[in-house]
Structure 1
C-alpha cells in the first residue's frame, strides 16, 4: 500500500467530516494477462490484481443518510438517503458518484440492512487506462459496508457479483465479471485463472523474477463503451447461430465446421473468443511451468487476434507491443490489455529487462497527441479487505 494514498484518504475524511474514520478498506485495480472479452462469453481469463488501489475511509451514522467525499475530485460531496429511490446523477463532474450509488443500491437490493455512513474515497488506479478503476471503486464500497457493519456472511464473490450488477444495471456498462472478481479475490504473488461460468478461481504463481509491466499509451479509450456493447451483441449473435448458451461452448473445430451462413464479421468476432479461451488455458499451464517463451507466444497470438479478428487495437497500441517485443524477444511477451481502442499494454518480462524496456519506450514511442507513454511496474496483489 502506498502511504501517500492512505494519507490522502484520511485527510479527505477529516476535511469532509471533521472526524477520524472507524475503518479504512482497499480494493485493487487489475491487469489482465490474457483472455480478453472472454468473460462475458462464459469463458476463461487470467488477470492479476495490482498494487494500485481505491481506498475508502468510513464511519457509521445514526440515520439513513450516506455522505461521500471524493479526494480525487476536489473533495466534492454526494449525499443520498437509503429511504428514497437511489438514482444516477447526470452532472458531468459527478460521474464517480454513480459507481458509489449503484453499489449501495445493489447492497440494499441484496437484502442487507444498511445503515447510513460517511465515506471518503481516494484512488491511484489510473483512470481511463483499462486497469479497472471503476471495479476497484465498486468493490471498495462493498467492502467498506461489509467491514463497517460486520456483514461476515457477505463473501468476496458476492461483493464482486453485486459490483458487476451495479456496473451493468446502474452505470449502464454491460461488462463481464472479471474486473470485479479479481479485485475482490486477488492473491498476492499470483494471477487467477477464472472460469467466468462457474466463478471458480485457481491461483497461478508468477515467477518471482518476472515483472508485470503496464504501459499506458496515453490514447484515451473514447470508443470503448459503445464498441464494447457492440462486440458483446456480436458474440451473442454467434452463440445463437451455433445453438449454444455462450461461445465458451464452441471449440475451434466446430467453429469452422458449422460456419455456414454466419456473417463474416461476426464469425471473426467468434473466432477470437474461441481461440482466446484456449490460449488462456494454455497460458495458465505455461506460467505454472515457468515457461515464459511459451507465454510470450500466446500473448503475441492474443494480440494478433484482438487486432485482426476482434478489431479493438489501435496503431499506437500495436506500436507499443512491437517495441516491447523487440526488447523482450523470447524471454516473455506483450499484448494489449483491457477493453480496447487505446489504454494499456501489458508485458511479462524478467526484472533485469525493465530498464531496457523503459528506455526503448521513451526513445521510440509518442502518442498521436505527442505525449510520452506512462510505465507502471506492478506486482500481483491481494484482493479487497480492511487495512
Structure 2
C-alpha cells in the first residue's frame, strides 16, 4: 500500500473516530537490514535501508494535555492518557506501550508537551523483523514534532528518543539501528551506520538491483525471545575482554581470549559481522552483486552457527532463494532472529524466478505460504502534508 493510500485511509478513519479532519499526517518507514545483525548494540556497523512500508499517523493538536489514540489496524482499539500524570505500562507488551513510551521520552525534553488526537495505521508486517515497533515510535515522535511540539527535534535525536522508549518503557534492549534508519533513511539507498558515533554514509544500490523480502511466516517477538539473552552474552564478553564494546575486538584477540566456547561463538559472530558489513558497503557501491552474495551467505551461516538465532524454516528459505539465484544475488535472515523474514538482493530480472521457487517449494511449519514483496529503499520519517494550521481542537 502506498503512502498516499495509507494517508487517505488514516484521514478517513480519523474523521470517523474524532469527528473532524486531521491537521496533518506523518509517516515513518520500517526497515530491512541488508547485513550487520546484532552489531548495533555492540557499537558496530550496520547496513539497512528504509522500505516503502511504514506507519502513518493522522493527527490534530488539542488544547488540553490529553492524548487520545486509535489504532486502526487493531480493530480501532483506543488508548487515552494524561500527559500531566506519570505514564506506565501494564501487562504484556501492547501497541499502546510504544506510544506511551515515546510520549514519556518527549516529556523529558518538554514537560509542557501538548495533547494530541492520533489515528495510527500502517503496513509493516508485525513480528517479521522489519521494525514495525521502531516505525511506530518514530512516527509518534514525528507526529508531536509536526504538531509544533519540539519543532527543532532533528532525525538523530528523534531516533535516540525512540530507542530509549523501547529500552526503558517497553523493555526490549534494542540497539539504535532500527530507529535511526527509520528517521534518516534516504530514497534509493542503504545507510551504512556507525553505531558508536551515529555517523551515516549513503550507499547507493546498483541500478537494476531489487530488494526482495520473504516472510517465513514464523512469528517472532523480540521482548519474548532470546534477544536479550544474546545481548547479555555480548556484554559478558566485553567485560571479560576489558573493552568498551565488541567492536574493539579483533579476531586474533578473540582467538587467544580464553572465553568459554559459547560466549566465544557469540562474540565471534559480532566481530566477523562488522568486517562483513564494512566490506559489503564497499562492494555494493561498485555494483558487485556476486561479492555481496558471498558476504550475505557468510553472514547467515554466522547467525545460524555462532549466534544461533535462525530457525529451520528460515534456513530452508535462505537455501531455496540462494540456490535459485545461483550466484547472481545474495540472501540471508534479517532482523533479531527466531523467525521473521529473509532479505535477498538480486537483479530485477531474477525476481520472478525467485518468487516462483518460493511459491512452489516453501511452506512454514504450519503449512503457510511465504509472503513475498519487493521493496523500494525509501526516505525516512516526515510529514505527508504541510501542517498549515495547528489551531487547537478539543
Q: With structure 1 as the length reference, what TM-score do the two structures score? A: 0.97
Distance 1:33 1:356 in 2: 21
Distance 2:16 2:372 in 1: 32
Alpha-carbon distance, 1:224 to partner: 6.3
Q: How does 1:240-251 map to 2 (within 5 A)?
A: 240-251=239-250
SS of equivalent to 1:10: helix
Q: Does 1:263 align with 2:263?
A: no
Alpha-carbon distance, 1:207 to partner: 1.1
Distance 2:221 2:79 in 1: 26
Q: How does 1:289-368 map to 2 (within 5 A)?
A: 289-368=286-365
Change (3 A) 1:329 1:112: farther
Task: Give deviations 1:227-253, integer Å, cap 9, x for gaps.
Answer: 100000000011111110110000111
Task: Give deviations 1:39-66, integer Å, cap 9, x for gaps.
Answer: 0000000000000010011111111111
Q: How does 1:1-387 map to 2 (within 5 A)?
A: 1-90=2-91, 95-111=94-110, 113-149=112-148, 151-221=150-220, 225-257=224-256, 259-260=257-258, 262-387=259-384
SS of equivalent to 1:161: helix
Structure 1 alignment gaps of length 5 or more: none
Change (3 A) 1:196 1:222: closer
Detail structure 1 runs of 4+ shifted over 6 Å in the superposition.
Answer: none
Distance 1:169 1:87 in 2: 11
Alpha-carbon distance, 1:208 to partner: 2.2
Alpha-carbon distance, 1:222 to partner: 5.3
Distance 2:200 2:103 in 1: 26
Residue in structure 1 matched with residue 392 of structure 2 by the alignment: none
Residue in structure 1 matched with residue 390 of structure 2 by the alignment: none
Alpha-carbon distance, 1:109 to partner: 1.2
Task: Give deviations 1:241-290, integer Å, cap 9, x for gaps.
Answer: 11101100001111113x22x11100000000000000000000010110
Distance 1:375 1:292 in 2: 21
Conservation of the 8 A alpha-carbon contact between 2:172 and 2:222: no
Q: How many residues align?
A: 383
- After superposing the two structures, state which structure 1 stretch, 2-11 or 266-275, moved more: 2-11
Distance 1:279 1:137 in 2: 30
SS of equivalent to 1:149: coil
Task: Give deviations 1:162-216, integer Å, cap 9, x for gaps.
Answer: 0000000000000000000000000000000000000001000001201100000
Distance 1:225 1:52 in 2: 24
Supply the RMSD in Å over aligned alpha carbons: 1.2
Distance 1:356 1:159 in 2: 40
SS of equivalent to 2:101: helix
Distance 2:166 2:283 in 1: 33
Conservation of the 8 A alpha-carbon contact between 1:42 and 1:196: yes
Distance 1:145 1:51 in 2: 22
Alpha-carbon distance, 1:15 to partner: 1.4
Distance 1:251 1:110 in 2: 39
Distance 2:319 2:30 in 1: 25
SS of equivalent to 2:145: helix
SS of equivalent to 1:220: coil
Conservation of the 8 A alpha-carbon contact between 1:29 and 1:51: yes
Distance 1:292 1:39 in 2: 24
Structure 2 alignment gaps of length 5 or more: 385-394
Distance 2:272 2:265 in 1: 11
